[in-house]
Structure 1
């Protein structure tokens, strides 16, 4: 073991750079994946057009407070009204449907004649593997809201944003590698990888699958004690990069070892030197030897991006729905997904 334990050489605090200079000097094209900031969304949403978004059903039946001007107050998006009152169907510009509830027993779609000017949005953040019965929704929806970059409303699990403050501290590292997992199935590619990899390197496993569950407030402090985190997706699909990287790794301050889409897919959203991809190595044994032999100078290179960027996590469905308003002026009004299943299941 080359990395010092338990004492770690702390990363230096860096002077924050102005976002304009950051973007000009950046070697990889973050402009292609960044959302506009809240203030820019407020400016680009027309002052004369007020958009009402009807939430037909709350994702996972967890309603949130949408009283007042929630989009403006929380996300600086003007002229956007969220409602979950189905009596306002005919007064709504957009109706958004979350996929999971579409398949539940007793679910029903609006029965009133549909206003041809009203846009319907299909919302889903699950991977194709966990998205069922898509075929019956062909020719229903106008727009999509998903983690896929080619969605009409692109909604990743997280993103890097220009750094606005100077501080970044890492907790003292006491151990090498950890993984938190609840959904553990023998057929998963990540489980097959883990079984082979754990022959060569010990991994501290937490979560329901290991009968060591972590409370929500315990997760990040626990992971932060480790140099590396196994950010292994439960299925491999285009752009499917979840909170396992954004939250469990980046927010916790541990370097992610990822298993998911190809490396070039990750590099659309994060710097090439911010993560380790399992496909970079010929075998699980080679990866284990690489992690065990790493020195502190090499380790610190994985944090260079933090000189210029912070991590923003998207986990509030209100923000996701407010974003529909800022995207509306830029989306086609005559679009229909005639083959929603083919679009979402293809190129995965």
Structure 2
């Protein structure tokens, strides 16, 4: 009996050894290198957890049934910018664990988490994976930060995920369809908005002059003040940052006292660049945005109709100041900038129809797909030969110019 068990044991052991040798041989012929263990790559932690919230578990023993999105590191090294492990975005799972690289269908690189230390890429990659470059910053800010996009020339990235409408996946700061769901609607709601108005105009700003745009917007705001506009300018640029309202509730309550918010971007004519200054500071806090920097035509594609005032419509700062002062005295005319909210049944589709009717040559952005929806619908293969050409040089030169003598970021 004992000899029989011994023979069986030897047979099993030999078979296992042969199978292991065959496996090692086959894997040695693979063109792709498996992921480097985290302790050999000290640029990023092995596993990044950004939340303690409950999430759905991922089966780590085999490739998930749903597509898997891997976020490669934390933007700026800070938590809160990426979903928690196990979160589902539409029909895709999310992970922040780089050890799941070989399981991942989409690998997202924020511009702050990839650099020349990882190029050339020597980790795992297959032709079916989609490598995505993610940035919410405009070209001038990237240039000021010393970001060299030429490192990725030759097709390292497949998609861009940015605020631009021609990005492979749109990730803007806002969208009319979302903002309409975030604000109160109806005649009474607008009555309440108007009743809270105590002051004329405000601008919170702390980036003073790193870019040419940041420098020019300060100059423009000064001309508005000189033209007689009662504009409160608060922040580091005016050495009164202590006046900045503290806490989100206080911030919002403060903003809602003002009729206008200066949504002045830190860049000039960067394609589709519309930030939280417009969406959050102004629209979501019941102030009419006065826009400088974003091309008006780009803004018409994404904003609620007749919801903003643009400096392009005024030949001089003096004329703009006079118009704002006129609206301050005329509640009926001022109220027209809230008409998009007076209809309680307003929808994104209705607003799109309104834009098309008033601006026939403008193509409004319709609900953009998520990165998961884009992946599931994608039927082609793309690689980006030059991020620099696609994201930087496709803008007017003034978009990515830096200031000659700037005060800081």
TM-score range, shorter chain: 0.7 to 0.9
Residue 135 of structure 1: how far off its partner (Å): 1.3
The structure in which a higher percent of residues are helix is 2
Is 2:229 aligned against 1:180? no
Structure 1 residues 50 and 178: alpha-carbon distance in aligned structure 2, compared to 1, 3 A threshold: same
Q: Greater relative contact order (Cα 8 A, min sep 6): structure 1 or 2?
A: 1
Match of 2:222 in 1: 195
Residue 347 of structure 1: how far off its partner (Å): 3.3
Greater Cα radius of gyration, structure 1 or 2: 2
- Could you report, residue by residue, the CA deviation over 1:123-168 in whole angstroms, capped at 9, with x for unpaired residues? 0000011123111112210011000001111011011127567563
Match of 2:391 in 1: 344
Is 2:239 aligned against 1:207? no
- Could you report, residue by residue, the CA deviation over 1:175-222 in whole angstroms, capped at 9, with x for unpaired residues? 101001011128422112112121111211122323233324132211
The structure in which a higher percent of residues are strand is 1
Indicate the SS of the match to 2:370.
helix
Structure 2: unaligned runs, 5 residues or longer: 1-63, 349-368, 396-409
Is 2:69 aligned against 1:63? no
Residue 270 of structure 1: how far off its partner (Å): 1.6
Structure 1: unaligned runs, 5 residues or longer: 1-47, 311-321
TM-score by structure 1 length?
Answer: 0.75
**Residues 119, 333 of structure 1: 8 Å contact kept:** no
**Residues 72, 113 of structure 2: 8 Å contact kept:** no
**Residues 56, 96 of structure 1: 8 Å contact kept:** yes
Distance in 2 of aligned mates of 1:120 and 1:62: 21
The 10-residue stretch of structure 1 (48-57 or 141-150) with the greater mean CA deviation from structure 2: 48-57
Distance in 2 of aligned mates of 1:198 and 1:293: 15
Residue 84 of structure 1: how far off its partner (Å): 1.1
**Residues 265, 293 of structure 2: 8 Å contact kept:** yes
Distance in 1 of aligned mates of 2:70 and 2:304: 37
Residue 332 of structure 1: how far off its partner (Å): 4.8
Structure 1 residues 175 and 100: alpha-carbon distance in aligned structure 2, compared to 1, 3 A threshold: same
Match of 1:324 in 2: 371
Indicate the SS of the match to 2:156.
coil
Equivalences, count: 284
**Which of 140, 146, 151 is the equivalent residue of 1:136?**
151
- Could you report, residue by residue, the CA deviation over 1:76-114 in whole angstroms, capped at 9, with x for unpaired residues? x13x111111111111111110012324x8667753242
Structure 1 residues 67 and 101: alpha-carbon distance in aligned structure 2, compared to 1, 3 A threshold: closer
Residue 68 of structure 1: how far off its partner (Å): 6.5
Distance in 2 of aligned mates of 1:205 and 1:95: 41
Indicate the SS of the match to 1:334.
coil
Distance in 2 of aligned mates of 1:232 and 1:166: 26
Is 2:99 aligned against 1:87? yes
Distance in 1 of aligned mates of 2:315 and 2:84: 54
Matches within 5 A, 1:1-348: 50-64=66-80, 66=83, 69-71=86-88, 77-78=90-91, 80-103=92-115, 111-131=122-142, 132-138=147-153, 139-161=155-177, 166=185, 168=189, 169-170=192-193, 172-185=196-209, 187=212, 188-200=215-227, 201-210=229-238, 211-212=240-241, 213-217=244-248, 218-236=250-268, 237-294=270-327, 295-306=330-341, 307=343, 308=346, 323-348=370-395
The 10-residue stretch of structure 1 (246-255 or 197-206) with the greater mean CA deviation from structure 2: 197-206
